[in-house]
Amino acid sequence: MTKQTIMIIGLGLIGSSLAVCIKKTHPVSFLYGWDNSKETSQTAQETKIVDQIPENFAKAAENSDIIVLAVPVQTAQHYLEELATLNLKKEVLITDTGSTKQKIVHTARSYKLNFIGGHPMAGSHKSGILACDANLFENAYYIFTPTKKEQTEQIQRLKELFSGTRAKYVLLKPKEHDEITAMLSHLPHIIASGLVNQADHFNQKYPRAKQLAAGGFRDITRIASSDPQMWTDILLSNRHTLLQMITQWQAKMDDISFWLETENAEQIYHFFANAKDMRDRLPVDKKGSIPAFYDLFVDVPDRPGSIAEITSLLGKTQISLTNIKILETREDIIGVLQLTFKNETDLIAAKTHIEKETDYHCRLQ
Ligand SMILES: NC(=O)c1ccc[n+]([C@@H]2O[C@H](COP(=O)([O-])OP(=O)(O)OC[C@H]3O[C@@H](n4cnc5c(N)ncnc54)[C@H](O)[C@@H]3O)[C@@H](O)[C@H]2O)c1
Ligand SMILES: O=C(O)C(=O)C[C@]1(C(=O)O)C=C[C@@H](O)C=C1
């Protein structure tokens, strides 16, 4: 194992999780971390997620063999501009984790930087260093977008660097990447937030309506809790593709309006049947289509002692929780408890146990 100096710029959810994975498989490498949030830098230092938060950005970058940009995509562009002005090592390899690839690859090329675009297709609506998770990328796809054949050796360097993620590597062209993620990630985020905003407006007429939001609304809108800055950057950097996708979406909505106006049950049935068929065939073991965190949602009666009952049940079985949160206490009826575990085995064991010992309903999403 060669000793390398690695610099991670941006120590939020993705940067800190990658740092932990790198440390696990490359203990002899030296890891610099850089973040413009003082609090985040302090946490990274205290928890030893990185070896050092340097005093001087330029010196650390110039000393690095690999630089990983894990900041919002627009910010990553600015860092490339800055890195291009430094006296970086000749062999330095720069990569990023951003959710869009064409713009950043284009910028890196214009500065003649040794850059390979990267994108781990796993994440969460949670952000920041406190959401750091060493298992975040396990079984997920990690996309690289090389632009030249000569980059094979560089890709190999990155595959080795990120081997601790236990992700599956995929190579795509930047344009292919941006079209696929527009369909499967960016448009869904727009729709989820659109729904929440529409419901927010609606709530002015029926203020109690939000208390009634049940599984359907919650399931489809989880990702609306994601970081607004990150998503502003993503949308603006994949503008053209998204404009086309939105037009297609609007056409689909027009179809539904028409079928409703004309009471066309056959077309409406076909719309749902086709979607069900496609959704049911989605692989369930892939991150991206399942929650990246091992969360269990338990409907509990809103009465004293019900939370203690669950924690003591889990305590007896030695299943350890990493987080517990009361999501809502709906009047009179039930509330939802979000239990987070450190891996899938604990999650499934907890679900089985709670269902066996109580009559509480458990859901994975
Ligand atoms: N969240 C996801 O699900 C996900 C998944 C895959 C890829 N990505 C991409 O990875 C990147 C990071 O996303 P994240 O989820 O880790 O976001 P995050 O908000 O959790 O972390 C971003 C970090 O960058 C820091 N930062 C912001 N501006 C900075 C600057 N100018 N200089 C230094 N640090 C700065 C922030 O303080 C924060 O710690 C984004 O480009 C995003 O598109 C996100
Ligand atoms: O699971 C989530 O919360 C995510 O939003 C993760 C998700 C996605 O859309 O699948 C979000 C953006 C990233 O670029 C990759 C993954």
Pair type for strands 30-34 and 5-9: parallel
Asked if residue 189 and residue 160 are part of one domain, the reply reads no
Asked if residue 204 and residue 133 are part of one domain, the reply reads no
Asked if residue 151 and residue 188 are part of one domain, the reply reads no
Pair type for strands 294-301 and 361-363: antiparallel
Is residue 330 domain-resident? yes
Mutate to test the pocket of ligand 1, among 230, 233, 235, 287 (most ligand atoms within 8 A of CB): 230
* Confidence at 293, pLDDT banded by 50, 70, 90: low
Is residue 107 domain-resident? yes
What's the pLDDT at 218? 87
How remote is the CA of residue 253 from the centroid of ligand 1, in Å? 33
Full domain range(s) for residue 204:
177-280
Is residue 153 domain-resident? yes
CATH code for position 111: 3.40.50.720
Q: Which ligand is nearest to the CA of 40?
A: 1
How remote is the CA of residue 198 from the centroid of ligand 2, in Å? 22
Pocket of ligand 1 contains residue 98 by CB under 6 Å: yes
Asked if residue 19 and residue 158 are part of one domain, the reply reads yes
Residue nearest to atom 3 of ligand 2 (CA): 124
Asked if residue 165 and residue 189 are part of one domain, the reply reads no
| 104 close to 117: Cβ distance less than 8 angstroms | yes
Element (H, E) at 292: none
Q: Which residues, other chains included, contact 25 with Cβ-Cβ below 8 Å and sequence gap of 6+?
A: 163, 164
Is residue 311 domain-resident? yes
How remote is the CA of residue 188 from the centroid of ligand 2, in Å? 10
Pocket of ligand 2 contains residue 97 by CB under 6 Å: no
Q: Which ligand is nearest to the CA of 227?
A: 1
Give 176-192 pLDDT, tens digit per residue.
999 999 999 999 999 99
| 143 close to 171: Cβ distance less than 8 angstroms | yes
Residue ending a domain, among 172, 193, 227, is: 172
Residue 300 pLDDT exceeds 50 = yes
Asked if residue 300 and residue 255 are part of one domain, the reply reads no
CATH code for position 258: 1.10.3660.10
Q: Which residues, other chains included, contact 176 with Cβ-Cβ below 8 Å and sequence gap of 6+?
A: none
Is residue 56 domain-resident? yes
Residue nearest to atom 9 of ligand 2 (CA): 185
Residue 1 half-sphere exposure, CB side, CA atoms within 13 Å?
Answer: 14
| Residue 158: other Cβ atoms inside 10 A | 20
Residue linked to tokens 């998204």: 242
* Confidence at 291, pLDDT banded by 50, 70, 90: very low
Residue nearest to atom 5 of ligand 2 (CA): 124
In whole angstroms, what is the distance from residue 169 CA to residue 144 CA?
7
Residue ending a domain, among 127, 156, 172, is: 172
How remote is the CA of residue 223 from the centroid of ligand 2, in Å? 8
Is residue 285 domain-resident? no
How remote is the CA of residue 23 from the centroid of ligand 2, in Å? 24
Give the total number of structural domains in the chain.
Answer: 3
Asked if residue 117 and residue 104 are part of one domain, the reply reads yes
Asked if residue 231 and residue 128 are part of one domain, the reply reads no
How remote is the CA of residue 268 from the centroid of ligand 2, in Å? 29
Asked if residue 159 and residue 65 are part of one domain, the reply reads yes
Residue nearest to atom 6 of ligand 2 (CA): 123
Pocket of ligand 1 contains residue 35 by CB under 6 Å: yes
CATH code for position 350: 3.30.70.260
Asked if residue 194 and residue 214 are part of one domain, the reply reads yes
Report which ligand 2 atom has the smallest distance to the Cα of 186.
Answer: 9
Q: Which residues, other chains included, contact 323 with Cβ-Cβ below 8 Å and sequence gap of 6+?
A: 338, 339, 340
Average pLDDT of the residues in 79-85: 98
Is residue 287 domain-resident? no
Asked if residue 16 and residue 164 are part of one domain, the reply reads yes
What's the pLDDT at 288? 46
Residue 324 pLDDT exceeds 50 = yes
Predicted model pTM = 0.81
| Residue 165: other Cβ atoms inside 10 A | 26
Q: What is the mean pLDDT of the chain?
A: 90
How far CA 222 is from CA of 4, 188, 335, in Å, comes to: 39, 11, 17
Asked if residue 135 and residue 61 are part of one domain, the reply reads yes
Q: Which ligand is nearest to the CA of 118?
A: 1
Give 116-174 pLDDT, tens digit per residue.
999 999 988 899 999 999 999 999 999 999 998 778 999 999 999 999 999 999 999 99
ipTM: 0.98
Residue ending a domain, among 280, 304, 324, is: 280
Is residue 124 domain-resident? yes
How remote is the CA of residue 359 from the centroid of ligand 2, in Å? 33
What's the pLDDT at 277? 94
